Chains A and B, each alone.
Chain A
Amino acid sequence: MPNTLLSASGLERSFYGVRALNGAALDVRAGTITGLIGPNGAGKTTVFNCLSGVIPCEAGQILFDGADITGLRPEQISQLGLVRTFQIARGFPKLTVLETLLLHGDGQPGENVLTAVFTPGRSRARERDLIDRAREVAEQLNLTGVLENMSSDLSGGQKKLLEIGRALMGRPKLILLDEPVAGVNPALAGEIAERIAALRETGLTFLIVEHDMDIVARLCDPVIVMAAGARLTEGTFDEIVADRRVQDAYLGQRA
């Protein structure tokens, strides 16, 4: 496939003898919002952890944008433009929303310890650019009003939006969203979905793990179904809903 942005194959990972991933494979085409669904324990979050380098996979290969990223550390993968969010919004409780966004900006010379202590003036210009970028991102996500708040003071929905905002700051190519609307009220869930759809129009690609099937139906094409640590099937939402194997995976096999 010429326009495949992310391609993972043969991923394996065990936790103390439990095989969370058993040869999992998936492809994400550029410009899509690809859904990743499956029953609890299918290995969706482990796939995210492997793709983002948070937990290294034991076998398999991950290609992103033409480069082999298997075994790279999380920060290296993020810097290449593959950024993830977390299922439970993992904020930095003692950082403000603005700081959280700035943190995810790249190319800040003031992150070098010597520059930080001895020539702080050299980081100022970049800091201004990043602040502009952060305000832009905040505006896209309706977070402008809370920029000065501590991230721990946000509502659940705002935290989810901030997760997306963090991912956006580094101008990524592909964002892995781990349950972007879980625990959010339906109205706000719809709003988050709209934001994601709008961001796709700007050229971004998404891979989304989500249990809310309304949102998956609305946003995702194609949808990949995982079960028991491997890819079960892939297709449009209507196709996979009609697939008997998918129903079995979720509900258990009928006798």
Chain B
Amino acid sequence: MLSYLLATLTFAGVYALLALGLNVIWGMAGMINLGLAGFFALGAYASALATVALGLPIALGIVIAIAAAALAGALLSRLTLNLRGDYLAIVTLGFGEVIRLIAANEIWLTNGSDGIPGIPGPFRGALTPLQFNALSCGLLLLAVALAWFLTERLRRSPYGRALRAIRDDETAAAVAGKPVRLYKVQAFAIGAGLLGLAGAAYAHFTSYVAPDIFRPLLTIYIFLALTAGGTGNTSGAVLGAFLVIVILEGSRFIEPMFHGMSGAQGAALREIIIGSVLIFVMRIRPEGLLAERPPKPVEP
């Protein structure tokens, strides 16, 4: 049971990293990104291939994963600078699917739908499964804390102020003298880097990646997490991610209460619960559990 809790907390950490990444792209800069699963997959595969195929150390694999996702994010946002709203949503959704399809079909590189097994985890061989879960959980929470600290610092900085201005009104921000295009590419790359980090963490923790893991549903879960937690609020992103995991995992324990329910019905029940909770949260707190607040100005 403890091992299960630790594993769940680790997954919550992965979700929190994803939500923090989305919070930079969508919460602060206002760019919609429905391709979260794609960046997550990119990070997972990059680190998996670097450590399994090339035999590089895990730390280096993670750095490569962050860099690969950030680069892809910079490139994608550079290509879509003039797209807004719905159109950016379509392109990023397409990007996510393209990454998944590449992973499924470029068998020489990714081993196709069989996936890549045996991805090393830190000290996996030397530890009992429980110890390994505890270590992973600790590392993940540390990564979340660091990501929280850095993105919150970003939000409070003059850079973050300009980013929020761009989100609210791009043209007015340009007239305010801000290089809007540069900001958007940078913000997208930073957010994508965090998504890549989440992917790498996932791969090394579970030791296995396959294309099926990276379905668009994951993107929806993260959007739910951020929306419920509070778009634009760094702590809200983390809170929302934990909330979604609690609901996803908690509903496992509700299922046995209904006798004679099939597996498919159980899965559907989870979706219903997630949807209902989100509607409820939005009904009572439209801004999310933790609303965005402007940072306090520097004391003169």
Contacts and interface: CB of A to CB of B under 8 A. Distances in A.
A31 interface: no
Interface in A83-137: 83-84, 86, 90-96, 98-100, 102-104, 106, 108, 110-113, 115-117, 120, 123-124, 127-128, 131-132
B158 A94 contact: no
Contacts of B190: 113
Most buried by B among A54, A120, A131: A120
Interface string B181-194: 00000100010000
B178 to A, nearest CB: 6
Interface residues of A, number: 43
Interface in B242-268: none
B161 A99 contact: yes
Contact of A75 (B159, B179, B186): B179
A95 B168 contact: yes
A123 B169 CA distance: 24
B59 interface: no
Given A95-B164, A106-B177, A117 B171 contact: no
Contacts, number: 111
Q: Give the residue among B158, B171, B178 with the most A Cβ atoms within 10 A.
A: B158
Interface centre among B159, B168, B169, B173 (most CB of A within 10 A): B159
Contacts of A104: 176-177
Contact of B298 (A73, A106, A128): A128
Contact of A116 (B159, B169, B177, B180): B159
Interface residues of B, number: 33
B232 A117 contact: no
A13 interface: no
Most buried by B among A53, A110, A128: A110
A145 to B, nearest CB: 16
B93 to A, nearest CB: 26
B164 A116 contact: no
Given A95-B165, A123-B157, A73 B174 contact: yes
A166 interface: yes
Contacts of B157: 110-111, 115-117, 120, 123
A158 interface: no
Contacts of B161: 95, 99, 102-103
B168 A92 contact: yes
B295 to A, nearest CB: 8
A63 to B, nearest CB: 20
Contacts of B150: 117
Given A93-B168, A95-B165, A99-B294, A116 B174 contact: no
A92 B162 CA distance: 10
Interface of B: 150, 153-154, 156-162, 164-165, 167-169, 171-180, 186, 190, 232, 292, 294, 297-298, 300
29 contacts: A73-B174, A75-B175, A75-B179, A78-B177, A79-B177, A86-B172, A90-B169, A90-B171, A90-B172, A92-B169, A94-B168, A94-B292, A95-B165, A102-B161, A103-B178, A106-B177, A110-B158, A111-B157, A111-B158, A116-B154, A116-B157, A116-B158, A116-B159, A117-B154, A120-B153, A120-B157, A123-B157, A123-B158, A124-B298
10 cross-chain pairs, A with B, having the tightest CB-CB distances, nearest first: A116-B157, A116-B159, A110-B158, A74-B174, A92-B168, A78-B177, A90-B172, A108-B158, A127-B298, A92-B165
